[in-house]
Structure 1
């Protein structure tokens, strides 16, 4: 089997212009990511004909070849064994950023690099919220002869620790990741984040509700930034830059003492007295705008987002949008984005499934059916780049299906308890009275995209 993957690796290297045309290689869950010296030397048709390749695209300075979960790891191992330099995703993002000149895309990559590492914590917390919501429902408790009042207070507190900690200390996670991204010491990032949520400060929730008075210093009102995103991100950015600046200018003799001291002091001053108050207002405006869009009457918000979501995936900037979901859950306890995103994802699965059913080509079927499974697990790239975009119309029908499903999800006011997982795994975020509705909108999205693609979106001769 390893010989087969070695053969695939050799063919990949040759198809992208040879070893001399490759700067580095890395991989994510489904794609082999290659930084090239010259994009024009790549033979796209040769890449597409390689065994197990499900598609390819070029974005953000990277040539990305879709192999699928598991397969990509084995191909990458063989590519590395053949002497191709490997790099982490963050290192590749940096190299791609240096090669590209699109400032917007570079800014989006920065957000992605900072927020993607903390998503596992958000996913776990969302699952805890879902399970807690399920187990504390009166109908479930009644099965065991219990009522909500009969649950011990200590048990409720224990479950709150599981559901509230990650969001309560969110600035700690963000500052840690920001310091790491911008060249600072992650441990100082952790301390800065802890300072922003120090128990010595009244929480922003208590201050906003009028149950506590803000701390006033030099006429500036200060409060903790529990569950805040933008203040923590900007404070982490400034703190890391300050640390790097000090390390370059302070002698080695005093560096260990002065650099951490000045970094923490100035980061706290900036975070609580300058950045925090301004960023909080900006954050509130952004969140209110997003909530406004998703709660537009007659399901219009879901219709719009469900229709454009996978277009955003094609651009490669979708990971950065997790910041909106994080803040929405932190402030409201619910995620309005997740169910609509799920509709757009399963719709692309429905379109790819229609192509696979209708096509007589073994190659197309071999691409379509596995990509459907991948999409139903929340990863749409194989379906989009390997099948739907290849024929264009199925992708468009998938967008229509996503819009239709998003419209229905908005009408039904579907809300997830967490983030980070969609489609079939996403059912874990709806373990309450929304479970059946979630399945309904997902099946509806899949069905609309499948029917439209089968009837109008694909003719078998198009594959020739």
Structure 2
């Protein structure tokens, strides 16, 4: 690939000169933009291409869960296959994220796929889980689930792109064919396995211990406020289920759990923010996207609404953090409890609440949803208005140049 073209692609996709900004009359170079805004744009762009697969898999998972709740899965094998089909996309999501990020950065997508899939290799995962072979070499140990966190994958793919870009200056075929992939894997993989991964594992354990002490010993409301307000961030870092063992132990020991309702509140807040975008936006395509992903979030499929809508428009994501924090604090204040864990933390958890706390669960869900939706609506966001011009692609799918940014009145 031509080096100038690669540089332009990386600058454009990761926050350089953005066509949406130019259409809105801003015209500033990407380097002058807020780094947080640039990061959100990059993350949203990575997940945009994966969104159809996420939505399709989410719908299949919801259908399977409904059949399970209604006890309509007469043929258990067929039901299990349907569940596997729905879960396959989410299982392979680290690889999909890595490939999508590599496409945006203009680097080798197959090297990125290897980076994203390193935690799936059976021999490696067994070694990481046992930690015996690694401990004997005095290397720090990482848990496979934290190695596959989205933030670490994006960092690793970005570093791989930098290495490829640097070595690409040597315009020799042998270097590009042999040296670039070999050196990239030999640098990136050890960093991911023995530097980033262990640091992330240590951080996850520390956060888990802190939250556990607040939930089970003191400060339950504060714990609900913090956990509910940061769960989407933990989702992106791969730490969203770091307290799953505490939840299972609580149900086994006492028959109920106080943490799971906070997760439900955070998911409902993401749904509320998405519906806020649906009501506020004047773009028909954005309305359809926000409504469909918001409905999936209501049923417990968080990723499409969070990455496809709320992160994309930025302000709704922060509105969802506020809604999840308030809803989580409410759930903990009234000691809302679930008697069992569900695969999807959505509305289908309602039959699982204790009879004495069901009303508070409903109120907590409503508070999270409405708070995020109202804040999104009144705070506003940078809406996208489709430009009906000759710029439409032959396939009928809009490109970045077909969209212009129109600031809403309250943004």
For normalisation by structure 1, the TM-score amounts to: 0.47
Distance in 2, Cα, partners of 1:406 & 1:158:
34
- Report whether the alignment pairs 1:25 with 2:20: yes
Instruction: Give how far 1:247 is off.
Output: 1.6
Distance in 1, Cα, partners of 2:324 & 2:152:
33
Which residue number corresponds to residue 240 of structure 1?
161
Higher Cα Rg: structure 1 or 2? 1
Spell out, residue by residue over 1:367-399, the C-alpha distance to the aligned partner (whole angstroms, 9 max, x if none).
Answer: xxx9xx96986889xxxxxxxx9xxxxxx9x99
Distance in 1, Cα, partners of 2:153 & 2:321:
35
Distance in 2, Cα, partners of 1:272 & 1:169:
18
- Report whether the alignment pairs 1:176 with 2:165: no
Give SS of 1:201's match: helix
2:142/2:198 contact within 8 Å kept: no
2:215/2:223 contact within 8 Å kept: yes
1:130/1:431 contact within 8 Å kept: no
Distance in 2, Cα, partners of 1:417 & 1:189:
29
Distance in 2, Cα, partners of 1:123 & 1:255:
37
Which residue number corresponds to residue 262 of structure 1?
183
1:235/1:267 contact within 8 Å kept: yes
- Report whether the alignment pairs 1:36 with 2:31: no
Distance in 1, Cα, partners of 2:197 & 2:322:
41
One of 106, 112, 121 as aligned partner of 1:198? 121
Once the two structures are superposed, the pairs formed by residues 9-158 of structure 1 within 5 Å of their partners are 24-25=19-20, 34-37=23-26, 97-100=30-33, 102-114=34-46, 117-118=49-50, 130-136=62-68, 140-141=70-71, 154-155=77-78, 158=81
- Report whether the alignment pairs 1:275 with 2:200: no
Which residue number corresponds to residue 110 of structure 2?
187
Which residue number corresponds to residue 323 of structure 1?
236
Cα RMSD between the aligned structures?
A: 5.5
Give SS of 2:125's match: coil
Which residue number corresponds to residue 87 of structure 1?
none
Change in 2 beyond 3 A, CA 1:446/1:182:
closer
Distance in 2, Cα, partners of 1:193 & 1:106:
22
Task: Number of aligned residue pairs: give it.
Answer: 304
Unaligned residue ranges in structure 1 (runs of 5+)? 1-21, 27-32, 39-60, 62-94, 310-317, 357-369, 381-388, 390-395, 420-425, 451-464
Give SS of 2:123's match: coil
Which residue number corresponds to residue 378 of structure 2?
none
Spell out, residue by residue over 1:131-186, the C-alpha distance to the aligned partner (whole angstroms, 9 max, x if none).
Answer: 5455445xx43x78x7xxxx75x557535633554454443233323433443212
Which residue number corresponds to residue 340 of structure 1?
265
Once the two structures are superposed, the pairs formed by residues 384-423 of structure 1 within 5 Å of their partners are 405-410=327-332, 411-413=335-337, 417-418=343-344
Spell out, residue by residue over 1:105-144, the C-alpha distance to the aligned partner (whole angstroms, 9 max, x if none).
Answer: 444544444456556655555555555455445xx43x78
Change in 2 beyond 3 A, CA 1:409/1:277:
same
Distance in 2, Cα, partners of 1:289 & 1:37:
44
Unaligned residue ranges in structure 2 (runs of 5+)? 1-16, 248-259, 280-286, 298-304, 307-314, 374-411
